[in-house]
Chains A and B, each alone.
Chain A
Amino acid sequence: MFRFIVRRLLQLIPTLFGLSILLFIWLRRLPGGPETAILGERGTPEMRAAIRRNLGLDEPILIQYGRFVRRMVRLDLGTSISTKREVTTEFLQRFPGTVELTVTAMVIAIGIGIPLGYLAARRRGRFLDHASVGGSLIGICIPVFFLAYVLKAIFSENLGWFPSSGRQDPTIGATRITNFFVLDGLMTREWDAAADALWHLVLPGLALASIPLAIIVRITRASVLEVLNEDFVRTAEAKGLTENVVRRRHVLRNAMLPVVTSIGLLTGGLLSGAVLTETVFAFSGIGAFLAEAINQRDYPVLMGFIMIIAVVYVLVNLIVDLSYSLIDPRVRVR
């Protein structure tokens, strides 16, 4: 087990190098540069040239890349060109927001998706089945930003139940420790701050949950259906075990493997893809910041964030792989 983990982590090194080379070349090949974003309409050719020179962008790409690697091995990701704050700081201030949002979305998706998928499978061909399958199709098809607007229009603008944007009411004046706002609120016993942060997560969490929820419903349903047809389930039912026991021990446990795999992939996808939801809800996470960084050609932020996200992605998948062995003892990691 330990060796398995170490090997997976060592595999990260060549992956990161390969990724960094591709990313570096791709970014430098994009038209324009940070100087245009920095100066806007104001830039004289002289000022533009001076900024490029100062940033070392006039040097050969190999030298620039060498400088980046020298920094990276020291775990120094440099400074954002546009905000002049360290890339690591920027990441640590924003990533917790995306994690909170992703976790909320996944809790909603899993909490509703698995029971719904299971019920749909057990009542195959009946109303609930048709409703959830049809509903999941809609969930997959509706663009997230559209759903986000609709949710906001109804629950925020009209009914006023939820805040329309942000991570926390700024007038609360909460203490920041980890930048996980809910956690910070609990740690400092600022209950109102924690509740407010949680409350800010509901609408964006729902919007972001729509696609994974739909996928989880479908995969659970398909997987449960398959298991229900297995001989051992029929045997178990024939033995006279209660439905509860059959469900927990036999059906769900066996049906969960593909579901867990997809949850891992979906979570990784959400972590890196919450751009639209974050933008619509003015939610301060890495998604919206990355989108901005691309517009600004903020090379250090793009390189740094994507490198870190790659590492996180690998870690999430590692956890998923490890959880297999917990769910199904037949799958042992070597």
Chain B
Amino acid sequence: MRASRPKVAIAAVAAAALAVAGCAESDREGSSGSSNETLVFGVAGDPKVLDPSFASDGESLRVARQVFETLVRPEEGGTKVSPGLAESWEPDAAGTTWTFKLRSGVKFHDGTDFNAEAVCTNFDRWYNAKGLMQSPDVTAYWQDIMGGFAANEDDTLPESLFKSCTATDATTVSLAFTRVSSKIPAALMLPSFSIHSPKALQEHDASNVTGSADDIKYPAYATEHPTGTGPFKFKSWDVPNKTLTLERNEDYWGDKAKLKSLIFRTISDENARKQALRSGDIQGYDLVGPADVEPLKGEGFNVLTRPAFNILYLAINQKGNPKLADIKVRQALAHAINRQALVDSKLPPGAQVAVNFFPETVEGWNGDVTKYDYDVEKAKSLLAEAGASDLTLRFHYPTEVTRPYMPNPKDLFELVSADLQAAGIKIEPIPLKWSPDYLNATTSGSAHDLHFLGWTGDYGDGYNFIGTFFDRQKDEWGFNNPALFEKFKQADTTADQAAKVALYKEINADIMNFLPGVPISHAPPAIVFGKDVTGVKASPLTDERFSTAEFKS
């Protein structure tokens, strides 16, 4: 008698819950199951901005790649420069002016025509950026590639590499540069050089970045009206629900997207993405944990492995410890590390030991360089020769992070430090939180000796890897090697492709002789799709084209 009321109450609540459940369940199936033309893809972070001119984070660029197109683009599944909005291109004799022959019959999402004028409008917009648009966190990639602007407002900005754009006729456009650069045309594949609709840019005041330097506000174009020529059109960005919806561009010039809509949904936790895929909430996700690759394959999911386009290296800071300036000590470190064992046990299938500081797919890779085989005895004797048998090294490694080139930093640290200890080196481990502590400590050259870091390439050019590391004196490495720096300058300004590649081969050999650090490995990152999703080709540049994705019927 006493318990009858609570029992009734509990029963009532349970019944109500079940009723709601049934209703919600059927709705969910009804809305997502009725058409197999919507793909929900799990991503690790929210995009920051939809105007790729202002973007440098991977998630913003992923969205941009579906909505926008660039003059040239990477070949599908590769890194080579191939036609995009331009069908062909060639430099003039001096190598400073590049002429692009444009595709005709292309329309922007707002219905206006794509032509040479539109291309110039875009380049002029970037080049003539003023005020806050010159802030390095707004136009990071432009500054990375082009240096400065028409009128630099900050004295520390270099002269612009870009000079002018000329529209000869509707389908011919010439880009002039102030000097020859090895980055052109490869860098023009970056989504930051996406061509926007001039009409939309003007209508939505796209260049009107307002606020103050510490309080930058983007115009509505950058968050609500991105207008390109790509196979998908922007539909909505539901920030509270962490989802961004794109829909098929019915007027696309090429093969139309097979999906009707494509939804990017942010799930920052890697395990949560995996669970969402298994429970059918999403039909694919990126940044698959290396340990999940085989299990997911076993369950029948479509796991795609991207060709490795990255490098993990052990940096040696010569400034922090004078003994490390001795080449024999650096050679000893290289000989002491069993990189093959590390690749075999701690990296995903398909990973390789690095011979250069960039992967074999980049032109200029050189297999004929000094190699440092695993040899503990040799390491010990080199250390003895250098009078450094009692070496103690402060070894930084990051925590709370997974990078495509470094899936499990702590495991890697433990292996490498055990190897070094076996060669008689004492290790003082210094774990630091990846962002911002670790990046701050390693790149600003604080008192440390060794650290792991790496890089994923933006485009297929050697400079994008080794130039980023070694083209001048940097706090991360702490060495000054003018001869090497000079060769970089020479390579960057060599117009002749064959000569340039030869120079990069030479530089790679020099680097491996000088041994500023130890290149460790190239690891292939994975991306996964649902069991019934096909058609996507993995790209080393993470330039996956969702327009070819489809559900197997």
Q: Measuring CB to CB, which residues of chain A are less than 8 angstroms from any residue of chain B?
A: 31-43, 45-51, 53-57, 67, 78-79, 81-86, 93-94, 96-97, 111, 115, 119, 149, 152-153, 156-157, 160-161, 163-174, 176, 179, 181, 191-192, 195-196, 198-199, 202, 243, 279-282, 284, 288, 292, 295-297, 300
Q: Which of A42, A195, A202 contacts B140 (CB 8 A)?
A: A42
A195 in contact with B20 (CB, 8 Å): yes
Tell me the minimal C-beta distance from A115 to chain B in angstroms: 6
Cα–Cα, bound, A281→B271 (Å): 10
Q: Which of B386-445 contact A (CB under 8 A)?
A: 433, 435-437, 439-441, 443-444
Cα–Cα, bound, A192→B144 (Å): 48
Tell me the minimal C-beta distance from A4 to chain B in angstroms: 35
Q: Which of B1-28 contact A (CB under 8 A)?
A: 2-3, 6, 9, 13, 17, 20-21, 23-25, 27-28
Contact sample, A vs B, 8 pairs, CB 8 Å cutoff: A45-B474, A50-B156, A83-B48, A93-B239, A97-B240, A169-B281, A192-B30, A202-B17
Tell me the minimal C-beta distance from A23 to chain B in angstroms: 17
Q: Measuring CB to CB, which residues of chain B are less than 8 angstroms from any residue of chain A?
A: 2-3, 6, 9, 13, 17, 20-21, 23-25, 27-28, 30-32, 38, 40, 46, 48-49, 56, 135-137, 140, 143-144, 154, 156, 211, 213-218, 223, 236, 238-243, 245, 263, 265-269, 271-273, 275-276, 278-281, 433, 435-437, 439-441, 443-444, 453-455, 468, 474-475
B27 in contact with A78 (CB, 8 Å): no
Tell me the minimal C-beta distance from A184 to chain B in angstroms: 10
Cα–Cα, bound, A171→B34 (Å): 11
Tell me the minimal C-beta distance from B496 to chain A in angstroms: 28
Tell me the minimal C-beta distance from B391 to chain A in angstroms: 27
B143 in contact with A166 (CB, 8 Å): no
Cα–Cα, bound, A82→B454 (Å): 23
Cα–Cα, bound, A78→B214 (Å): 9
Tell me the minimal C-beta distance from A43 to chain B in angstroms: 6
B240 in contact with A31 (CB, 8 Å): no
A172 in contact with B6 (CB, 8 Å): no
B6 in contact with A282 (CB, 8 Å): no
A199 in contact with B31 (CB, 8 Å): no
Residue ID in chain A nearest B442 by CB atoms? A41
Contacts of A54 in B (CB 8 A): 135-137, 213-214
Contacts of B13 in A (CB 8 A): 111
Known contacts A31-B441, A41-B454; 12 additional CB pairs below 8 A are: A36-B435, A36-B443, A51-B137, A55-B214, A84-B49, A166-B241, A170-B40, A170-B243, A176-B240, A195-B23, A280-B269, A280-B272
B275 in contact with A84 (CB, 8 Å): no
Contacts of B30 in A (CB 8 A): 192
Cα–Cα, bound, A225→B279 (Å): 45
Q: Which of B23, B213, B265 contacts A56 (CB 8 A)?
A: B213
Contacts of A297 in B (CB 8 A): 436
Q: Which 4 A-B pairs have the closest CB atoms?
A: A32-B436, A36-B436, A32-B440, A192-B27
Residue ID in chain A nearest B261 by CB atoms? A171
Contacts of B144 in A (CB 8 A): 42
Residue ID in chain A nearest B468 by CB atoms? A42
Contacts of B278 in A (CB 8 A): 157, 164
B32 in contact with A169 (CB, 8 Å): yes
Tell me the minimal C-beta distance from B505 to chain A in angstroms: 25
B28 in contact with A163 (CB, 8 Å): yes
Residue ID in chain B nearest A168 by CB atoms? B241
Residue ID in chain A nearest B215 by CB atoms? A79
A167 in contact with B240 (CB, 8 Å): yes
B281 in contact with A279 (CB, 8 Å): no
B272 in contact with A282 (CB, 8 Å): yes
Contacts of B218 in A (CB 8 A): 84
Q: Which of A53, A152, A156, A170 contacts B238 (CB 8 A)?
A: A170
Cα–Cα, bound, A32→B265 (Å): 30
Contacts of A166 in B (CB 8 A): 241-243, 265, 267, 276, 281
Cα–Cα, bound, A308→B490 (Å): 55
Tell me the minimal C-beta distance from A302 to chain B in angstroms: 13
Residue ID in chain A nearest B235 by CB atoms? A173
Tell me the minimal C-beta distance from B511 to chain A in angstroms: 18
Interface centre among B38, B135, B215 (most CB of A within 10 A): B215
- Given known pairs A47-B140, A170-B263, A199-B24, the reply for A33 and B436 (CB within 8 Å) is yes
Contacts of A84 in B (CB 8 A): 48-49, 216-218
A86 in contact with B217 (CB, 8 Å): yes
A282 in contact with B268 (CB, 8 Å): yes
Contacts of B475 in A (CB 8 A): 45
Contacts of A57 in B (CB 8 A): 214
Contacts of A82 in B (CB 8 A): 48
B140 in contact with A196 (CB, 8 Å): no
Contacts of A202 in B (CB 8 A): 17
Residue ID in chain A nearest B213 by CB atoms? A54
Cα–Cα, bound, A2→B21 (Å): 44
Cα–Cα, bound, A153→B6 (Å): 30
A196 in contact with B28 (CB, 8 Å): yes
A37 in contact with B436 (CB, 8 Å): yes
Cα–Cα, bound, A47→B143 (Å): 9
Tell me the minimal C-beta distance from B57 to chain A in angstroms: 8
Cα–Cα, bound, A292→B269 (Å): 12
B268 in contact with A279 (CB, 8 Å): yes
Contacts of B213 in A (CB 8 A): 53-56
- Given known pairs A32-B436, A119-B6, A195-B20, the reply for A284 and B241 (CB within 8 Å) is yes
Cα–Cα, bound, A251→B20 (Å): 34
A165 in contact with B281 (CB, 8 Å): yes
B440 in contact with A172 (CB, 8 Å): no
B20 in contact with A37 (CB, 8 Å): no
Interface centre among B135, B238, B268, B271 (most CB of A within 10 A): B238
Q: Which of B27, B143, B435 contacts A295 (CB 8 A)?
A: B435
Cα–Cα, bound, A34→B38 (Å): 36
Cα–Cα, bound, A174→B27 (Å): 13
Residue ID in chain A nearest B33 by CB atoms? A171
Tell me the minimal C-beta distance from A180 to chain B in angstroms: 9
Cα–Cα, bound, A96→B28 (Å): 22
Cα–Cα, bound, A282→B271 (Å): 10
Contacts of A169 in B (CB 8 A): 28, 31-32, 281
Residue ID in chain A nearest B35 by CB atoms? A171
A296 in contact with B435 (CB, 8 Å): yes
Contacts of A32 in B (CB 8 A): 435-437, 439-440
Cα–Cα, bound, A160→B279 (Å): 6
B275 in contact with A195 (CB, 8 Å): no
Contacts of B239 in A (CB 8 A): 85, 93, 284
Residue ID in chain B nearest A148 by CB atoms? B272
B216 in contact with A164 (CB, 8 Å): no
Cα–Cα, bound, A114→B137 (Å): 53
Residue ID in chain A nearest B23 by CB atoms? A195
Contacts of A83 in B (CB 8 A): 46, 48
Cα–Cα, bound, A284→B292 (Å): 25
